[in-house]
Amino acid sequence: MTTFVLIHGGGSSGWDWHLVAAELRGRGHDVVTPDLPIEDPSAGLNDFTNAVLAALGDRPDPVVVGHSYGGMTAPLVCAKVSARLLVFLAAMVPAPGEKPGDWWANTGYVGPEGLSQAETFFGGVPEPLVAECVAHGRPQVSAEGEEPWPLDALPDVPTRALLCRDDRFFPPEFLRRVTRERLGVEPDEIEGSHMVLLSRPKELADRLESYLGE
């Protein structure tokens, strides 16, 4: 049995992970899906990290997964615990001293044009589930966007990056380049859109579980 810590992206909540969490729990694993304090205008990266640590408690050797903007928090958690594995899922990979708000320009990100929210994020997700996800969304008014990312380097823990081949928010060619530049590795790939955790939860759980044996 392994504990998976699943960290949501920007403007979201731990609810985003409920299908993947059910898959992993059904296989005998423990799962933690904390809500980051994104609605608190004073909350910064340390508050995000502490929210995850509070939810994790004393569970040992977790696998920490950061989805999208959750990639800013996941390595900070790994620096505080004896993590078994760090996974960046369709995620922003931070750089030391870089403000999260500067990540977009620093990586040369160009957003999609002419696409709806559903087309950008939710390819392959059934419409009722899209509506439910949007209803669980929260305004992100926290303060971390202008806060330098605090570590001198990414934590020394086994690390994987997993991109989504049908992602229209972080296109594969973009995320491959960022992963090479910032992690020095080739990312793994999975079919699905940016919200693969809702469109392909079983396949994502399969992939996360497969990392345990590598």
pLDDT for the residue numbered 118: 93
Q: What is the pLDDT of residue 165?
A: 97
204, 20 contact by CB (below 8 A): yes
In the CATH scheme, what is the code of domain 3-213?
A: 3.40.50.1820
Tell me the pLDDT band of 192, cut-offs 50, 70 and 90: very high
Check residue 196 and give its pLDDT: 98
In which band, very low, low, confident or very high, does the pLDDT at 213 lie, cut at 50, 70 and 90?
Answer: confident
CA 168-170-175 angle, to 5 degrees, is 135
pLDDT digits (tens, 9 = 90+) for 129-185: 999 999 999 999 999 999 999 999 999 999 999 999 999 999 999 999 999 999 999
Confidence of residue 19 (pLDDT cuts 50, 70, 90): very high
Q: Nearest 5 degrees, angle CA 133-CA 95-CA 201?
A: 30
- pLDDT tens, 42-92? 999 999 999 999 999 999 999 999 999 999 999 999 999 999 999 999 999
pLDDT per residue as tens digits for the range 101-142: 999 999 999 999 999 999 999 999 999 999 999 999 999 999
**pLDDT at residue 214 in the model:** 78
Write down the pTM of the prediction: 0.97
Domain ranges for the chain: 3-213
Provide the token pair at 192: 């699905």
SS3 of 208, please? Answer: helix
